[in-house]
Amino acid sequence: MSKNVFVNKDECTSCALCTDGLPQYFRMDDDDLAETHNDGENVGNAIVPDNDTAKVQEMIDDCPAECIHWK
Ligand code: SF4
């Protein structure tokens, strides 16, 4: 089963860990705050298939601002 992931931008510190590590799911917006996406679609509500949930979970755990969350 896939899961959906988003960033609470109010808490993002723009460290770029997620956008550098998993650019397929994370990118910076015009204000240099991270947001999730799928190839530019599903912005703010990226779909993560089963085979990638572990690596996204690792990013959730590593985000220094603890602002990446599953929906
Ligand atoms: S790892 Fe967290 S704090 Fe850093 S850019 Fe991504 S969402 Fe923002």
pLDDT tens column, 26-63: 999 999 999 999 999 999 999 999 999 999 999 999 99
Q: Residue 65 belongs to what domain range?
A: 3-70
- Cβ of 43 less than 6 Å from ligand 1: no
Q: Which atom of ligand 1 is nearest to the CA of 28?
A: 5
Q: What local confidence, expressed as pLDDT, does residue 1 receive?
A: 85
pLDDT at 13 over 90: yes
Q: Which helix (H) or strand (E) holds 3?
A: strand 3-7
- Cβ of 22 less than 6 Å from ligand 1: no
pLDDT band with cut points at 50, 70 and 90 for residue 20: very high
Q: For residue 40, how many other CB atoms are within 10 A of its CB?
A: 7
This model's pTM is above 0.75:
yes
Distance, CA of 1 to CA of 31 (rounded, Å) = 32
Q: How many domains does the chain have?
A: 1
Distance, CA of 36 to CA of 39 (rounded, Å) = 10
Are residues 11 and 63 in contact, defined by beta-carbon separation less than 8 angstroms?
no
What is the CATH number for 65?
3.30.70.20
